[in-house]
Chains A and B, each alone.
Chain A
């Protein structure tokens, strides 16, 4: 059977499964819709959190980025996993004890202010839309490459599927679909990784495989070979970095803190029955995530070696374009691989210097990897289904945050507090439909700045939510003026810095290069400084103004101790 037939079968089956779950998990209350009734088992929640968290970026892009960046790619590996330690120790148990539905709920109640709540709502919506645009784009790319349908048709099919389980089932539908999607995506990621690891080094485990010796019996370590190849071709050696140490630190820290401050991740811990489940669940979530995240650097190494050897030939003289494998020509059609025969010898050559004739998009490494390694057709189809699962599961989680921010935090809590639960649920569904529509539109008309605004999402979460929530739990003295001024300073500084170098909506005011950066910290890492400023301002302003009201102090005392936690509810503060 052809790759295309296999892809239709496997993707079709996985979609049928998601729709089936959606029909089974319909909900009738706001509590079901926002937090899946608060009764999700910690392991189930861990799996759902893993799928929620691992997006098209983790599945499709990350290994590719590492393949090209080598050691510098470690910022994503440590950054996107280390945040869970912060989440498990510093945030999740207390937010679970607090027992409301959303992150703006906590910010608004803890800082007894609708201003604080509104700042949080705006951040939550902005962060989530930024993210969701990338997911929809991922769906479109997978569809266009593997099923050869138009990107727009692909996005619309994706929207229809998400519509089904997000609007009907809310958080409950999303949770159980995400469990299924985790299984699909991890299977799809591991199968080719194990195949390739065995082929390259004879190790079953990709995690040890890329530290092993080559299967050709030469006794050379794979990483040593890759260091040699990259040096020869004029790149930085694979296991060495080219970024400054301080910048690597700042980016890693911003990603860790940003992860812990992302509303769609935090809200998953509102769905478990008990405080101790929130802690356990974070452990399971990170374990499930770690399976993929410890495999990714291995995939990256194999992919880089395979790619260099395919394009430059095993003799390093360049492979004849007329004899190029099918994947090169397939991906050329999508414009993600380009070959320009500079020296007119009819051979392809890839290097980090003037000899280079290839332009290769990082995003294709995971998707093309099974083809590069000549794996069977069904494995390639499986990767397509996995990429879709990763993108759809994250999109759904984000859409729910947007929907809850509008119906719960904005309408119910601020604009029209008089509405009944039934009305609120209806508004939540309408908001979800609206959010899906906007997400789809962004997927079909991707703004040129999707990649740029990802730095925004993490920077904003790090510079706004994380300090506000952390101080809200660990420092009773932090009050409304402190938290609000801290969040605003953190936000304005971080947004300002990113706009200054990246433009996004305006023309950049300075060239985005290390010599111009503050302390040599790139816009990707500036959230770390924004976070530090937020902490500082919040701390100082709180000490100079009146302490929070007694009942708020009592609430902080209460969330610190597990005893007396009920299920998540919206009843009385």
Chain B
């Protein structure tokens, strides 16, 4: 691959990486700061078995979402790197 195409691949990789990050970080903030803190009282009106929903997000749900976000990011970036040929080895 010539250097020009390579450079374009790198720029495209960075652009799509930033876009994906923005989406995932928005979710990250939504479950923790949103559901767990700022909207906790409103969500506490909803029950999930014995949990008030806002309380559940603050002590359980946000953590599950965090784990899922990282695995999704790792999986998506591996695919993106192969697609744009910027992966290692």
Contact = CB atoms under 8 A, between A and B. Distances in A.
A248 B37 contact: yes
Interface of A: 66, 71, 73-74, 77-78, 81-82, 84-85, 88-90, 93, 207-208, 210-213, 221-224, 239, 241, 245, 248-249, 252-253, 256, 274-276, 279-280, 282-283, 286-287, 290, 293-294, 297, 557, 560-565
B70 A279 contact: yes
26 contacts: A71-B55, A77-B58, A77-B59, A78-B58, A78-B63, A81-B63, A82-B32, A84-B66, A85-B25, A88-B73, A89-B24, A211-B56, A223-B55, A249-B33, A249-B37, A252-B37, A253-B33, A276-B77, A276-B87, A282-B70, A294-B60, A294-B64, A297-B60, A561-B14, A562-B88, A564-B88
Contact of A81 (B13, B66, B74): B66
B50 interface: yes
Contacts of A77: 58-59, 62-63
Chain B interface, >50% SS class: helix
Nearest to A209: B50
A222 B52 CA distance: 12
B63 A71 contact: no
A77 B74 CA distance: 23
A252 B81 CA distance: 33
Nearest to B47: A221
A290 B37 CA distance: 19
A221 B24 CA distance: 34
A85 B33 CA distance: 14
- The 6 residue pairs across chains A and B that have the minimum distance between CB atoms: A221-B50, A74-B58, A211-B50, A279-B74, A297-B59, A283-B70
Contacts of A208: 49
Given A85-B24, A222-B50, A224-B50, A78 B70 contact: no
Which of A212, A213, A274, A563 has the most chain B CB within a 10 Å cutoff? A563
A85 B26 CA distance: 11
A213 B49 CA distance: 9
Nearest to A212: B50
Contacts of B67: 283, 286-287, 290
B74 A85 contact: no
Contact of B88 (A85, A90, A224, A563): A563
A73 B71 CA distance: 26
A276 B50 contact: no
Interface residues of B, number: 41
Contact of A276 (B28, B52, B62, B81): B81
A224 B47 CA distance: 11
A501 to B, nearest CB: 23
A279 B28 CA distance: 16
Contact of B50 (A223, A249, A290): A223
- Binding site secondary structure of chain A: helix
Nearest to A288: B67
Given A71-B58, A223-B51, 10 more contacts: A74-B59, A84-B70, A93-B77, A274-B89, A275-B88, A276-B77, A283-B71, A286-B70, A293-B63, A561-B86
Contacts of A283: 67, 70-71, 74
Interface in B33-82: 33, 36-38, 40, 44, 48-52, 55-56, 58-60, 62-64, 66-67, 69-71, 73-74, 77-78, 81
Given A213-B50, A290-B67, A562-B87, A276 B74 contact: yes
Contacts of B37: 245, 248-249, 252
A492 B60 CA distance: 35
B86 A563 contact: yes
Give the most central of B25, B37, B63, B69: most A CB within 10 Å: B63
A557 B67 CA distance: 29
B62 to A, nearest CB: 5
A561 B50 contact: no
Nearest to B78: A276
- Most B CB contacts (10 A, CB to CB) among A85, A245, A279 go to A85
A78 B54 CA distance: 13
Contacts of B55: 71, 74, 223, 239
Contacts of A90: 21
B60 to A, nearest CB: 6
Contacts of A223: 50-52, 55
Interface string B1-41: 00000000010011000000100110010001100111010
